Structure 1
């Protein structure tokens, strides 16, 4: 009997140990999931809305963005985001836009960083995105696209490109190709300068600028616009920051400038300096 009692106590002790280890395992799993989960968000106010080589709205607007991602280390990361913009004015736009510009985008993506050498990493992201334009151009109120972007992160100047291919609701290709560099100073400040060009195929030119007033109304694939973006970030805390930026936008395609010059739409702009301020969160 004593022997059975000892065995019973041993079994109970073993079960208790298993329960403790299981609880620790669950706790470790929860901690690991939290550690691998990242959240970022921002909200800002800008003096005009620039989009894909054109000024979509030259009046002030607000933008909101939220991103949730999960680290699959060593197999990259997966995530999704939502982004929205809304005009802060109700007049001064074309009637087709119902005097207000509103947009809502959402996407899912996969990203991977390939370390080529110390401090040199090739970042690649592939995203499936949906764009919704409520109350604007009813015949193209929404469309879908695939986005592919790559950047070569390094201690000097980072080259990058973004390819956007719309295939449902609209049909076009758009490229954003540029260079960016950041400088940290006074511990909590970061200054970033980005210079980039915007390219499009003939269909994208037509979607952004209307018919070409030269020749048969068609465009050639090529450079649409040049941009210089200067941004200053201040890290108030480890997870909260504020930022301000200035963005110089210029359409450089002669055909596109001619099309914009011939347009009577109130939002038509060839060149514009845009400013903005905002807040951001990172966890």
Structure 2
């Protein structure tokens, strides 16, 4: 059971990280030409969800790294996200985040943070004058060590409505949702609203520029290095290395919380293994 794996935190995180980056290297060397990322929408580096799904028998892997400057404190996070399309309208995924806390005062902390299980169900695909619509459900577990600041000590559930629309080279995403936060361990935690608007503009066949305004209203735990404030502006770039490997780099700020503003640098990759699964499905 993953929650009881007896590994040093950095050892396990390093293994997951090398898995993703190693897979990307293999695909760059040996990947088949002519493949396309299953969705026309880009998931990373946004916190705002898109209305695309992986597709039937499509497997994807995402690796994300964050560094956050939090008023003299520093935090790093590495999140591994395997994604599997079960049907053309349904996909499941899981976030496995690891955190490295570097406070200005006190001891450094490393370890696994709270794991999340995600389902995305596309209600209907995009049409000429109608955006694609999707329902996202997230269940956050309580495996992270609350005493060390690695978890909330309770389970949460998110329900998020998503729409996406492509207009020539511009794609726009909108989110609205609500999170039910478990407060058995900490009465300061409260349910919160989720809202976000993101856009990506295609500069060329390989490059896209990304922008986002995302927010979460309410006090709660964040597994990523950068906390979600009431307003989180983001700007970034994505680069299509090959038809099945996408890199991203972004800067995010956190504003309007009672705490001082924070900023974060985000980098990651997304890999599609759809050619393998499609061949297996045809047999």
TM-score range (shorter-chain normalised) is 0.5 to 0.7
More strand by share: 1
Q: Match for residue 138 of structure 2?
A: 129
* TM-score, L = length of structure 1: 0.59
Q: Deviations over 1:62-84 (max 9, x none)?
A: 22112222445xxxx12211121
Residues 1:178 and 2:182 are matched in the alignment:
no
- Which of the pair has the greater relative contact order for Cα pairs under 8 Å at 6+ separation? 2
2:134 touches 2:161 (CA, 8 Å); kept in 1? yes
Question: For 2:74 and 2:116, how far apart are their aligned partners in 1?
Answer: 20
CA-based RMSD: 3.5
Larger mean Cα displacement after TM superposition, 270-279 or 96-105: 96-105
- Give the 3 Å change call, closer, same or farther, for CA 139–157 of structure 1 in structure 2: closer
Aligned partner of 1:250 in structure 2 is 253
How far, CA to CA, are the matches of 1:105 and 1:130 in structure 2? 6
Matches within 5 A, 1:180-259: 180-185=200-205, 190-201=206-217, 204=218, 206-207=219-220, 224-235=231-242, 238=243, 240-243=244-247, 245-253=248-256, 256=257, 259=258
69 and 99 in structure 1: CA distance in 2 versus 1, 3 angstrom threshold:
closer
Structure 1 segments of 4+ aligned residues over 6 angstroms from their partners: 93-97
2:121 counterpart residue number: 110
- For the residue of structure 1 that corresponds to 2:220, the secondary structure is helix
The 1:124–1:95 alpha-carbon spacing in structure 2 relative to 1, beyond 3 Å, is: farther
2:103 matches 1:92:
yes
Larger radius of gyration: 1
Q: Which runs of 5+ in 2 are unaligned?
A: 1-54, 183-189, 223-228, 275-283
Task: Trace 1:49-64 onto structure 2 (pairs within 5 A).
Answer: 58-64=74-80
Does 2:155 correspond to 1:142? yes
Shift of 1:176: 1.3
- 1:162 counterpart SS class: strand
Q: Calculate the TM-score normalised by the size of structure 2.
A: 0.59
1:78 counterpart = 2:78: no
Confirm or deny: 8 A CA contact 2:64 2:80 kept in the other structure: no
Q: CA deviation at 1:115?
A: 4.3
Distance 1:44 1:58 in 2: 20
The 1:223/1:191 distance shift into structure 2, 3 A limit, reads same
Give 3-state SS (helix, strand or coil) of 1:59's partner: strand
Moved more, 131-140 or 150-159: 131-140
Structure 2 partner of 1:159: 172
Consecutive unaligned residues of structure 1, counting only runs of 5 or more, are 1-35, 210-221, 262-269
What residue is the counterpart of 2:272 in the other structure?
281
For 1:156 and 1:45, how far apart are their aligned partners in 2? 25
